[in-house]
């Protein structure tokens, strides 16, 4: 099975999720450090749709410029997506995609639903 993780190595949950993937038998992991290789808008839209989330639900508010950018109250999904493309740190993490689907893996054990 192939798995792709959109990873932030500075995030403990992301590191733990990656470890679970790497320890799973038969799983080949592609690691995308999204701060170095940012999301496209189309990829974000696909990930959110497949995970059953709205951009607002996938918005990282802690440790991000979400409040300063006016994204906390009343921002449209389009505006949030525009800023997520420009500032990848606004995307909650980590997202994992396998042939079984996409999950925002918070807590990290959610990745087990994809294996």
Q: Which pLDDT tens digit goes with each residue over 75-102? A: 999 999 999 999 999 999 999 999 999 9
pLDDT in tens, 26-82: 999 999 999 999 999 999 999 999 999 999 999 999 989 999 999 998 899 999 999
The pTM for the full model equals 0.94
* Active-site residue (options: 11, 31, 32, 53): 11
To the query of whether residue 105 is one of the catalytic residues in this protein, the response is no
Contact 34, 64 (CB under 8 A): no
Structure tokens at 18: 């990656």
Domains of the chain are: 2-114 (3.40.30.10)
């Amino acid at each position: 099975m192939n798995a792709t993780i959109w990873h932030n190595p500075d995030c403990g949950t992301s590191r733990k999720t990656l470890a679970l993937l790497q320890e799973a038998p038969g799983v080949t992991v592609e690691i995308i450090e999204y701060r170095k290789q940012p999301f496209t808008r189309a990829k974000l839209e696909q990930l959110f749709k497949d995970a059953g989330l709205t951009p607002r639900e996938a918005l990282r508010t802690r440790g991000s410029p979400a409040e300063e950018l006016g994204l906390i109250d009343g921002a449209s999904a389009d505006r949030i997506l525009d800023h997520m493309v420009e500032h990848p740190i606004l995307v909650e993490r980590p997202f994992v995609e396998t042939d079984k689907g996409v999950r925002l893996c918070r807590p990290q054990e959610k990745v087990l639903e994809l294996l």
